[in-house]
A and B are shown apart, each in its own frame.
Chain A
C-alpha cells in the first residue's frame, strides 16, 4: 500500500478520487507503482517551498515507516505484492519466512498467523524438498521388512490342502474367527500338549476340528461322480428326440398347447 499526501489538491493525481479535506488517503492499487520522493513533490505543487520540503520529509519518512503496509491476503484493496519467497525447493516454509523477517522484508506486524505456532510446535521432520534421485541399478537391502508370523506356515499348508475352507470370511466383523484361524489355534494347542511331528499334528488338528463339527474338504482330491449336477449330463439331441416322440404319438392332444419337455431320465 502506498500513501500519498494530497493536501490542497482537489483530486488525487493517481486514483482521481475526490478529496474534500486534507487527509491521508490510501489509493486503490497501482501495480508496480513506485512512489518516489520526486513524485510526491509533484503531487503537492501549491505548497510553499519550506513547508513542501518539510512535508516531503514527512512523506518519505512515513513511507519508509509504512506501518500499515498490509499483507496481500488482506481484503483491503491492496494490489501491492507482499514480500514472499516462492522458492519451494530451498528451505522450508518456516525457514523462508523467518529469514525474510530477520532481514526486515516482512514486518513484525505482517507476521503470518502460523509462525508462532510452528515455532512452538514444529513438525517431526522439516518439510524440505527432496530431489528425486534416479534409481540405481543395484538393489540394496529392502528397508521395509516383510511381515511373517510363525502361524503362517500352518496357514499356508491349510490353504494348500483345504482351500479357503467351508465358511467364507466375514471381513466386516473385526472379531471374526475364520476356519483357518480356528485351525491354527487348535494346531498350536495340540503342539503344546503333544510331541508329534508337524504333518501328524496337521492330521490330528483336522480330526479335532471334525469332531467339533467343522467339515474340511480336501482340495486336491477329484470330486465323486454323484456330486455332479444331473443337468450337466443332459444331451440336447436326446431332448429333441423326446420332444419329437411326444409330439408325434399323442396326436389327439391339443397341438396348440406346447408341452414343456420334462427330462424324465438322463
Chain B
C-alpha cells in the first residue's frame, strides 16, 4: 500500500511538473536535495501567485506511464524568476529614488511647515526641528531620509507587481490623488471608508478578494481630525503602509512614515508626483529586466 501511495503522489507530481514545464531530468537531480514542498513553492515563486483554479490531473494510480510523456521544457524558469525578484534587493538604491527630489525641493514645496504648537502630537516630537512663533517646523534632514525609504519600498513593491492603494480623505486633493493613481496604474480610495473594507473584504466584495500589498496615505487623518481607520485596519491585515504624517498625526502604526506637511497644495502635488514617478520607474524596470532575462534564457519551452 505504501508503494502505491508513493506512486500516486509521484504521478500527481509529474502532472504538476508538466503544467509548470519542468523537465524530468531537472527533477531527478533536484529531488534528491529538495523537499517536495520547497520544489513546488519554487515553481510558484516566479508566477504572480497564480490566480484561477489549478486543476491537478490524477492518473488513476495505475497509469504511471502517462507521466513519462512529460516533455522537456525550459531548464531554469525558477532560477530566472528568483533572480528577477532578488535582483533589486542587492543594491541599496536600485531604483535611484534619491535622485527624484532634494531638500531644496521639499523646502520650496513648504513641506517643513507643520501645524501650531497646540495641535502637536506627542509622538511627532522627534521629527520636529523646532517651533517658530508657535508653528512647528519639520526637520527636513529626517524627512529626506524617511521619504527616500518610503519611495524605495514603494518602488520594490511596484516592481514585484504588488497592488498599491492610495488613500486620502482630504476633499481638496481627492481628484489629484485619484488622477495620480490612474497615471500609475494603481488604485485609489478617496471617499468614505466603510468599516469592513479591509477586515471584512470577503463578505463585502465576494470571496477571494485580493487585498492591496501596500497602502499609501497622503493624509493619515480623516475629516474629523481623527486617525484614518485604514491605518489601523492595514496593521490588522498585515499590510505595510506608507504615510505622510503631519504634526497632528499619530505615526506609530504607519510602517514607513514621512513626516511633512499634508495641507499645502504644493506639498501634496510634490508627493503625488514623486510616488507616480517611482511607481512608473519601478514598473518600467521590471519590464526591462524581464525582457533581459527572457532573452538570456537558453532553451525555448517545448511544452
Which residues of B have CB within 8 Å of A97? Answer: 238
Docked CA distance A21–B151 (Å): 51
B294 CB, nearest partner CB in chain A, Å: 21
Which one of B51, B54, B132, B152 lies within 8 Å of A147 (CB-CB)?
A: B132
Evaluate whether A127 and B253 lie within 8 angstroms (CB atoms) in the complex, with A88-B235, A88-B236, A107-B41 already known.
Answer: yes
Docked CA distance A53–B130 (Å): 74
Kindly supply a per-residue 1/0 record for chain B positions 200-223, scoring 1 wherever the CB is within 8 Å of any chain A CB and 0 otherwise: 001000011111011000000000
Select from chain A the residue with minimum beta-carbon distance to B235: A88
Which residues of A have CB within 8 Å of B213? Answer: 112-114
| Interface of A (DSSP majority class) | loop
* B4, B58, B161, B208: most-surrounded residue (chain A CB, <10 A): B208
User: Is B235 within 8 A of A147, CB to CB?
Assistant: no
Kindly supply a per-residue 1/0 record for chain A positions 43-65, scoring 1 wherever the CB is within 8 Å of any chain B CB and 0 otherwise: 00000001001100110011001
User: Can you list 29 A-B pairs, Cβ within 8 angstroms, ordered by A?
Assistant: A26-B53, A53-B1, A57-B5, A58-B5, A61-B9, A67-B40, A73-B209, A74-B50, A74-B208, A75-B51, A75-B210, A77-B208, A78-B208, A79-B202, A84-B237, A88-B253, A92-B255, A113-B161, A113-B162, A113-B213, A116-B85, A118-B240, A118-B255, A121-B152, A127-B254, A128-B252, A144-B117, A146-B132, A147-B137
Does B102 reach chain A (CB closer than 8 Å)?
no
Which residues of A have CB within 8 Å of B257? Answer: 123, 125, 127
User: Is B255 within 8 A of A127, CB to CB?
Assistant: yes
Docked CA distance A28–B120 (Å): 51
Which residues of B have CB within 8 Å of A24? Answer: 12, 55-58
| Interface of B (DSSP majority class) | mixed
User: Is B157 within 8 A of A113, CB to CB?
Assistant: yes
Docked CA distance A90–B139 (Å): 29
B103 CB, nearest partner CB in chain A, Å: 14
Chain B residues within 8 Å of A, Cβ to Cβ:
1, 4-5, 8-9, 12, 36-38, 40-41, 44-45, 49-58, 60, 85-86, 89, 108, 117, 120, 123, 125, 128-132, 136-137, 145-146, 149, 152-153, 156-157, 160-162, 199, 202, 207-211, 213-214, 232, 235-240, 252-257
Evaluate whether A85 and B208 lie within 8 angstroms (CB atoms) in the complex, with A54-B4, A61-B5 already known.
Answer: no
Docked CA distance A71–B54 (Å): 14
Which residues of B have CB within 8 Å of A124? Answer: 145-146, 149
Docked CA distance A67–B199 (Å): 25
Which one of A79, A116, A129 lies within 8 Å of B208 (CB-CB)?
A: A79
Which one of B58, B130, B161 lies within 8 Å of A22 (CB-CB)?
A: B58
Evaluate whether A70 and B49 lie within 8 angstroms (CB atoms) in the complex, with A114-B162, A146-B130 already known.
Answer: yes
Select from chain A the residue with minimum beta-carbon distance to B117: A144
What 14 additional pairs, Cβ within 8 angstroms, besides A23-B55, A67-B41? Answer: A57-B5, A61-B9, A71-B210, A74-B210, A79-B207, A109-B44, A114-B213, A117-B160, A124-B149, A125-B257, A127-B235, A127-B252, A129-B235, A144-B120
User: Is B202 within 8 A of A72, CB to CB?
Assistant: yes
What 9 A-B pairs are tightest by C-beta distance, nearest first? A88-B235, A79-B207, A73-B210, A147-B130, A109-B41, A117-B156, A147-B132, A86-B236, A130-B252
How many residue pairs at the A-B interface have CB separations less than 8 Å?
174
User: Is B108 within 8 A of A144, CB to CB?
Assistant: no
User: Is B252 within 8 A of A76, CB to CB?
Assistant: no
Evaluate whether A145 and B130 lie within 8 angstroms (CB atoms) in the complex, with A79-B208, A93-B239 already known.
Answer: yes
Does A255 reach chain B (CB closer than 8 Å)?
no
Which residues of B have CB within 8 Å of A84? Answer: 237-238
Docked CA distance A7–B59 (Å): 11
User: Is A93 within 8 A of B235, CB to CB?
Assistant: yes
User: Is B5 within 8 A of A71, CB to CB?
Assistant: no
Does A174 reach chain B (CB closer than 8 Å)?
yes
A24 CB, nearest partner CB in chain B, Å: 4
Which residues of A have CB within 8 Å of B125? Answer: 143-144
Which residues of A have CB within 8 Å of B136? Answer: 144
Which one of B49, B60, B160, B252 lies within 8 Å of A74 (CB-CB)?
A: B49
B240 CB, nearest partner CB in chain A, Å: 5
User: Is A109 within 8 A of B240, CB to CB?
Assistant: no
Which residues of A have CB within 8 Å of B130? Answer: 144-147
User: Is A22 within 8 A of B41, CB to CB?
Assistant: no
User: Is A117 within 8 A of B5, CB to CB?
Assistant: no
Select from chain B the residue with minimum beta-carbon distance to A78: B208
